[in-house]
Amino acid sequence: MMDRPRLTVLSGPSGVGKSTVVAHMRKVHPEVWLSVSATTRKPRPGEKHGVQYYFVDDDEFDKLVANGELLEWADFAGHRYGTPRQPVLEKLDAGVPVLLEIDLQGARLVRKAMPEAQLVFLAPPSWEELVRRLTGRGTESPEVIERRLAAARVELAAESEFDVTLVNTSVEDVARELLALMGVV
Ligand code: ADP
Ligand code: 5GP
């Protein structure tokens, strides 16, 4: 019987480059399956329903929670985000490597629900570089950036709770390291 691959969780402060690393990784290794979360935040330009996220309203999110359809969910900087449970379990059962890109609170909940999960922390080369990336992305207002930087301070302090830290200096290097941790290469 095929070994059930471990679930891998990638977390790290907003703006550190999680989406960029994951997008690169999937371009090189499309067989890695990335969970698509539900969120109550609005799409950024270019984001599509069902691709980056399932964009839902508060009522729909309430229903997902009430029906137990989420493996974990959390409030992040004023919006709710959650991982649909069933697709994750189906992929793991089918032997497909699964990656979740979620926040610190979500990572803690996954660790509780699935202790065999591997928790990976993506760290910025420096605080100044994190601020530069988050600001440079240009997708958030100054007020939202402030809220995300406040959350980032909390997330950076929790690095030691993770199994592994990867520093995002080079997207290609980090993507390769992450694939190795997932047993894909
Ligand atoms: P996150 O998903 O963690 O919030 P993003 O992937 O949106 O972060 O990246 C935030 C910004 O930082 C983007 O403008 C992205 O192009 C840039 N970025 C990501 N990784 C790097 C890197 N290794 N070096 C320089 N800039 C990067
Ligand atoms: P963003 O709004 O920048 O796409 O995401 C904000 C934060 O929410 C990021 O730290 C991202 O990893 C996290 N996030 C995305 N999806 C989920 C999810 O399903 N659950 C949890 N707990 N966090 C998520």
pLDDT digits (tens, 9 = 90+) for 115-159: 999 999 999 999 999 999 999 988 889 999 999 999 999 999 999
CATH top-level class for 8-181?
A: alpha beta
Q: Is the pLDDT of residue 22 over 80?
A: yes
Rounded distance from Cα 51 to ligand 2 centre (Å): 14
What's the pLDDT at 184?
Answer: 87
Q: Is the pLDDT of residue 3 over 70?
A: no
Query: Is the CB of 168 inside a 6 Å radius of any atom of ligand 1?
Result: yes
Could you read off the pLDDT of 53-103 as tens digits, one per residue?
A: 999 999 999 999 999 999 999 999 899 999 999 999 999 999 999 999 999
Tell me: pLDDT of 2 over 70: no
Buried b (16+ CB within 10 A) or exposed e, 22-33: bebbeeebeebb
Please state the domain extents for the chain: 8-181
DSSP 110-131: HHHH-TTPEEEEEE-S-HHHHH
Residues 150-185 have pLDDT tens digits of 999 999 999 999 999 999 999 999 999 999 999 887
Interacting residues of 64 by C-beta distance below 8 A, sequence separation 6+: 38, 56, 70, 73, 82, 84
DSSP label of 49: B
Which ligand has an atom closest to residue 24 CA? 1
- Nearest CA, atom 1, ligand 2: 14
Q: Ligand 1 centre from 103 Cα, in Å?
A: 16
pLDDT at 4: 56
Distance from the alpha carbon of residue 103 to the mean position of ligand 2, in angstroms? 5
Identify any residues that bridge with 55 across adjacent strands, giving them in sequence order: 39
- pTM for the complete prediction? 0.95
Q: Which residue carries 């550190």 as its tokens? A: 16
Nearest CA to ligand 1 atom 27: 17
Ligand 2 atom 20, closest CA? 82
Q: Residue 73 corresponds to which amino acid?
A: W
- Please state whether beta strands 33-34 and 79-84 pair in parallel, antiparallel, or not at all (unpaired): unpaired
Give the binding-site residues of ligand 2, using a 6 Å CB cut-off. Answer: 14, 18, 37, 41, 72-74, 76, 81-83, 101-103, 105-106
